[in-house]
Structure 1
Amino acid sequence: MDFQALADNLGFDLEEFKELVELFVDTGTADLNSVFSAIEEKDADKATKAVHSLKGASGNLGFMEVHQIAKKMEIDARNNRLEEISEPAKLIREKLKAISDQLNG
């Protein structure tokens, strides 16, 4: 992942962008925790809100793979298909870890 190119596309210097990415990973992890909790509680509204937040943040920062996964998850959550969002949520968790590892590596 080319953080410099993403930063340039958004008009940030690299250090500013890395700070935003760190915040994204933290809030994205919290959003995913809410998603898993919502699945357990069978709360489609809670899942939809958490996934919407993750979708928006990932799109704004240029993490389009995460954005696309979250976009589909949001549709499933809105349609109360919570059983459909568990596996994609696990995939996003892996992607957030990879982003974090690269950021701190």
Structure 2
Amino acid sequence: MLNLFDAIPAHLDDEMFETLVIGEAMRVERIVSRGHTSPAQGWYDQPHHEWVLVLKGKGVVAFENGEPVTLAAGDYLTIPAHCRHRVAWTDPNEETVWLAVYYE
């Protein structure tokens, strides 16, 4: 048995991405942040849809053409393909654990 909150390092230099499941038209990742944000010089512009759920912690997802969305434990949102976005903030005092599902 595995647990999404296991094997989280005490110190994270960079955001941690771990693929949990991969299929023909989808991928599930665990992402762990602790004060991390997306690179300042760019936006994510993904060719697939993303459904993201915050399991623990807090984060802010900013959109190039829209208002930022603050997410806490239990909150989720769908980001359509090619909707330019970035992680603008995550809690620096505790890890934010995200579950991201990428699909076509």
What TM-score do you get using the length of structure 1 for normalisation?
Answer: 0.29
Higher helix share: 1
Which structure has the larger Rg over C-alpha atoms?
A: 1
Higher strand share: 2
Q: Which has the higher contact order (CA 8 A, sep 6+)?
A: 2
What TM-score do you get using the length of structure 2 for normalisation?
Answer: 0.29
